[in-house]
Amino acid sequence: MFAPAYIELYHKGKLQEAAERLYAFYDHCELCPRKCGVNRGAGETGTCGAGAKVKISSAQPHYGEERPLVGRRGSGTIFLTYCSLLCLYCQNWDISHSGEGDEISDELLADAMLRLQQTGCHNINFVTPTHFLPNIVQALVFAVEKGLNVPIVYNSGGYERVEILRMLDGIIDIYMPDFKYSEGKTAAKFSRGVSDYPGLARTALKEMHRQVGVLQLDEDNIAQRGLIIRHLVLPNDLAGTDAFLKFVAEELHPNTYLNIMAQYRPCFRAHNYPELSRGITAAEFNKALMLAQKYKLFNLD
């Protein structure tokens, strides 16, 4: 019978150790690749805008996620506020840029996780977790003490430090990163200067795959452990889909679970940029699917 790896870490005392190591970053924050170095514990904020107390927008069953996460009872999704990428076309800009939400204690975050499990959710799905990792891991300690035993999903934009990801080995069951851009200039233009995104995202995906491997499903086709990658097709091939799919096929695994997404629409400040000011065409999306076929990537959502 499946048991999340974090339970064993809890009993060995290693989960609490990880929480304490992560909390130390709040004195000089380098949780994400921006490495702002601010003292969040003293009230300073870096590029993401977050302080040292976790802030959430909502915590509820979600049925719009990937099929292996949703199942029949939904993915227990906790939307965290703020973001280190700050994409100018973000559909959730009020949460990621403006930080709309409520500050809660780590204990209350644990209670939210337990409520989602009690409603029958198949997993706990943290959306944009990187900058609040210390709170999440500490809350996980509290939640395990009260009986949490469903998989943890790390749902991120893909802009990660591999050194931080290694600290999560055995804690995260399912990694679900985006891969947004294949070109640094595009990333810098549309996500506030992150020209290092493509290289760091590739390195992050390799580390995530090393930790959890190809997605594993139970007898009901519910995700238990593994890697899911999202790739939003952007107009005018701004996402660099061909290079991304080639990378997955050659450097990860041909059976990697992919969600090639067609739902881009111009939001927030996208209308200020002609190349982003329209949705994608059917031809653009079909081309992305044909590229997946070209690279023999068939495990698609």
Task: Find the domain containing 99 and state its range.
Answer: 5-294
DSSP 8-class letter at 235 = G
Question: What pLDDT is stored for residue 66 in this prediction?
Answer: 97
Supply the pTM of this predicted model: 0.98
Decide if 116 is inside a domain: yes
CATH number at residue 231: 3.20.20.70
For the chain, the domain total comes to: 1
Domain-embedded: residue 300 = no
Q: Is residue 301 part of a domain?
A: no
Whole-number Å distance between alpha carbons of 32 and 72: 34
Q: Residue 2: its pLDDT value, please?
A: 84
Strands 124-127 and 75-80: parallel
| Residues across the chain | 301
Q: Please state the separation of Cα 87 from the chain's center in Å.
A: 14
pLDDT, one tens digit per residue, over 5-31 is 999 999 999 999 999 999 999 999 999
pLDDT at 42: 97
For the four alpha carbons of 45, 158, 111 and 115, in that order, the dihedral sign comes to positive
Decide if 152 contacts 173 (C-beta within 8 A).
Answer: yes
Q: What pLDDT digit, counting tens, does each position of 168-177 carry? A: 999 999 999 9
- 15 vs 20, 52, 144, 149, CA distance in Å? 9, 19, 10, 14
Query: Which helix (H) or strand (E) covers residue 112, if one does?
Result: helix 106-118
With a cut of 80, say whether residue 1 has pLDDT above it. Answer: no
Neighbouring CB atoms inside 10 A of 90's CB total 20
Is the pLDDT at 105 greater than 90, yes or no? yes
299 located within any domain: no
Q: Provide the angle, in degrees to the nearest 10, between the axes of the packed helices 133-145 and 106-118.
A: 60
259 in Cβ contact with 229 (< 8 Å): yes
Is residue 203 in a domain? yes
- Of all residues in the chain, the percent with pLDDT exceeding 70 is 100
pLDDT attached to residue 285: 98
Encode pLDDT of 142-175 as tens digits.
999 999 999 999 999 999 999 999 999 999 999 9
pLDDT tens-digit map of 276-298: 999 999 999 999 999 999 999 99
**Continuous segment of H or E residues that includes residue 243:** helix 241-247
> Taking Cα atoms as reference points, which of 120, 190, 118, 128 lies closest to residue 156?
128
pLDDT, tens only, 34-64: 999 999 999 999 999 999 999 999 999 999 9
Quote the pLDDT of residue 212. Answer: 98
Within-domain flag for 93: yes
**Using CA atoms, how far apart are residues 40 and 192, in angstroms rounded to an integer?**
21
At 118-128, the pLDDT tens digits run: 999 999 999 99
Count Cβ atoms below 10 Å from residue 176 Cβ, excluding itself: 27
Question: 250-277 in b/e burial notation, b at 16+ Cβ within 10 A?
Answer: eebbeebbbbbbeebebebebeeeeebe
Q: Which two tokens stand for residue 148?
A: 């949490």
Q: What is the mean pLDDT of the chain?
A: 97
Taking the alpha carbons of 165, 96, 231, 59 in that order, is the dihedral positive or negative? positive
Q: Is residue 262 over pLDDT 80?
A: yes
pLDDT band at 234 (very low <50, low <70, confident <90, very high): very high
Whether residue 137 is contained in a domain is answered as: yes
- Please tell me the predicted confidence (pLDDT) of residue 44: 97
* Residue 244 amino acid letter: F
